[in-house]
Chain A
Amino acid sequence: MADRLDPVNQMVPAFTDLLVLVSARDSSSILLIEQIPPWVAQWVGKTPQEVEGEPIGRLPGDLMDALAAVADDVLTSGLPVENYSVEFRDIAGREHAVTLSAQRVEDYRLSPASRARDHANESGPAVLIHLQDISESVRQRRRSAGIGLFHGIVGRSKPMLAVFYKIEVYGPTEAPLIITGETGTGKELVARALHERSLRRDRPFVAVNCTALSEELFESELFGHERGAFTGALRSHKGRFERADKGTLFLDEIGDMSPRTQSKLLRVLEQGTIERVGGEEERRVDVRTLAATNMSLEQMVAIRRFRADLYHRLSVFRIHVPPLRERPGDLPLLVEYFLEMIGQRYGRRGLRLTPDAMRLLSEYHWPGNVRELRNVLERVYVETGGQVVGHNAFKEWVRERDYLSAGGWNLERLESQRAAAPVIITPPESSDQPRVSGFGFGVSDSADAQTPYPLAFPRGTFTPGGGSTIDAVYSVEHPPSRKPKGLTEEIIRKAFADAGGNATRAARLLGVHKATLYRRLKMLGLNRKDLETNPRPDTHPTQEPKP
């Protein structure tokens, strides 16, 4: 700040963010305002002209008290103050926050037009306070805290709080750690959070995706290479280990690492040294290793695709990031967070989802997890012109998901069933979703009841006519329990085909006991032979037409 001063006159030009306080002639403890930013004066309901020349202690408000206290400290101690943040209410009761830096200046000369001239010495010590309005960023941070943001990870559900707790506990340790979880759950964010919570936070965080590189490239990328080590190695190259020295190395998808690289990695972890490809010199590296995988490393160890010694070396600690379907309560928070983020990126704020759209999303099982949610929201955001997004905006996405899903959902089939039994969607009874403003849950009106889209989502509870529960679809991984009368011939045939003609598996897919399935077949006048000879009569576009 001092370098802004005119070296001859020790006067400051009228910076719009600078407050200048000078000592009164009668008493050095009284500080007069020589210059004040207009936006600061506004907070006390005045103009700069009205307050310049006045003692700062006489102005009302918490900010003025804070500024007077800082100026006193700086004036008496001579020590500057840097990045001191104050939150306060203005004269109208609105909340604001500023960050300020202050310093004492000797022989400050009043400006010729100064209103403080009558009560202050021509020259003397002054306190210059540089102010920065941080109200908006504080508001944003408060919003983030409200949605449970922890190092960029959104969540307030029990499983996520457990993850946050582990990050807090394991972060400051030096031990290697494995992060497990399905694709798109945010394993890299957890790794970054661990780095941020560690003593290495001021050092580099280097991430490497073990799937993305071939074995030869991977070793060179991880350990570096010397010039001439292989064709095209025109100069020596620092590997990720060296770049992460004193910091953290994050090995993503470590389950895809080749056995040869695994053994080299093990040696590095045990000895703390690396050898560049084509090099002879051993280099010492100090790296904390974090690894992530969406596979079961235990199973891979069992089938000898992953070294047991490396597994034990890496998995001192473990953090499992739960899939989105296991933390449904976080969905509204994530939606709110992503809409805010996307809104910032595209410069269009305030977009929100209707309760129906929100309900639609909550019925989905999210195989792509948080990444998939973010992507679909961005897509809908870009495609939608308005400020409020209803469930129709997700129509195309639902159709795509319908055909891509593991359960082989068929929207047309579902539509026909839908027509037969008007459906009202209700939130899951066991839902622990918090009621976030703008995302209320209620019973759909009749217009909503006409939409077929939610039927493609296997986790929903569908209540036809307010009576018994029918779930028209099934899921391979999470079969819903169903009543036998909901099993139409079509559904059974499809399950049978998907199960490769295995009745036990078909029953499991349908969420019923094998005996129930046979009973139902009997009721429908079918037998196994019928199903085997004519396995798939539905109208799925990818299927051959019924002969």
Chain B
Amino acid sequence: MSDEIEQLIHSHTGVVVVQITEPVLETDQPMDWVATEIRQWRSDASVVQVVLSLHREWALRYRVHGSPCTLVFRHGELCLRVKGRFGRERLRAALERAGLLDLS
């Protein structure tokens, strides 16, 4: 399964968003809206949800030890890592900073 995630990251031509979650650690609502929001800005985005406890080794490769965490890959490379919970504004700012909102 971890290999499949890795394969997707490297084979997908657009942006791959990986949402890492661990239900037992999180009391708030799941951040499902992130996928919708990113797709609004990046129609080429492919979104994957990963449960941390099932893919801990894989997550550690990207220095993720907890949840929630959002990773964005482009051309197989990690270009954004946002740990913890955040709002729409923060997401937009982070994507902008990572050059992921350049739609021209």
Residues of A within 8 A of B (CB): 62, 65-66, 69-70, 72-73, 77, 79, 81-88, 97, 99-101, 134, 137-138, 141-142, 145, 201
Q: How far is the CA of A65 from the CA of B67 in the complex (A)?
A: 14
Q: How far is the CA of A395 from the CA of B96 in the complex (A)?
A: 69
- Is the Cβ of A85 less than 8 Å from the Cβ of B90? no
Residue from B69, B81, B85 whose CB has the most chain A CB atoms within 10 Å? B85
Q: Across the two chains, which residue of chain B brings its CB closest to A64?
A: B65
Tell me whether A87 and B22 are in contact in the complex, defined as CB-CB below 8 angstroms, given that A62-B65, A65-B65 are known contacts. Answer: yes
User: Could you say which residues of chain A place their CB within 8 Å of the CB of B25?
Assistant: 85-87, 97, 99, 134, 138
Q: Across the two chains, which residue of chain B brings its CB closest to A69?
A: B63
Within 8 A of A (CB), among B3-39: 22, 24-29
- Is the Cβ of A84 less than 8 Å from the Cβ of B24? no
User: Which of A65, A79, A99, A134 is in CB contact (< 8 Å) with B82?
Assistant: A79
User: Could you say which residues of chain B place their CB within 8 Å of the CB of A85?
Assistant: 22, 25-26, 66-67
User: Could you say which residues of chain A place their CB within 8 Å of the CB of B63?
Assistant: 69, 72-73
Residues of B within 8 A of A (CB): 22, 24-29, 53, 63-69, 81-86, 90, 93-94, 97
Tell me whether A82 and B85 are in contact in the complex, defined as CB-CB below 8 angstroms, given that A87-B22, A138-B25 are known contacts. Answer: yes
- Is the Cβ of B66 less than 8 Å from the Cβ of A66? yes
- 24 A/B residue pairs, CB under 8 Å, sorted by A: A66-B65, A69-B63, A69-B64, A73-B81, A73-B83, A77-B94, A77-B97, A79-B90, A79-B94, A84-B66, A84-B83, A84-B85, A85-B25, A86-B25, A86-B65, A87-B22, A87-B53, A87-B66, A99-B25, A134-B25, A138-B24, A138-B25, A141-B24, A145-B24
Report the minimal beta-carbon distance from A76 to chain B, rounded to whole angstroms: 10
Q: How far is the CA of A38 from the CA of B29 in the complex (A)?
A: 32
- Is the Cβ of A82 less than 8 Å from the Cβ of B86? yes
Residue from B28, B29, B63, B68 whose CB has the most chain A CB atoms within 10 Å? B63
Q: How far is the CA of A540 from the CA of B63 in the complex (A)?
A: 73
Q: How far is the CA of A87 from the CA of B51 in the complex (A)?
A: 13
Report the minimal beta-carbon distance from B14 to chain A, rounded to whole angstroms: 23
User: Which of B28, B53, B69, B93 is in CB contact (< 8 Å) with A84?
Assistant: B69
Q: How far is the CA of A86 from the CA of B68 in the complex (A)?
A: 9
A77-B94, A84-B84, A86-B25 known; 16 new pairs, CB 8 Å cut-off, are: A66-B65, A66-B66, A69-B63, A69-B65, A73-B63, A77-B97, A81-B83, A82-B84, A82-B85, A83-B28, A84-B67, A84-B69, A101-B84, A138-B24, A141-B24, A201-B29
User: Could you say which residues of chain A place their CB within 8 Å of the CB of B68?
Assistant: 84
Report the minimal beta-carbon distance from B30 to chain A, rounded to whole angstroms: 11
Q: Across the two chains, which residue of chain A brings its CB closest to B65?
A: A66
Q: Across the two chains, which residue of chain B brings its CB closest to A101?
A: B84
User: Could you say which residues of chain A place their CB within 8 Å of the CB of B86?
Assistant: 82
Q: Across the two chains, which residue of chain B brings its CB closest to A66?
A: B65
Q: Across the two chains, which residue of chain A brings its CB closest to B62?
A: A69
- Is the Cβ of A83 less than 8 Å from the Cβ of B85? yes
- Is the Cβ of A142 less than 8 Å from the Cβ of B84? no
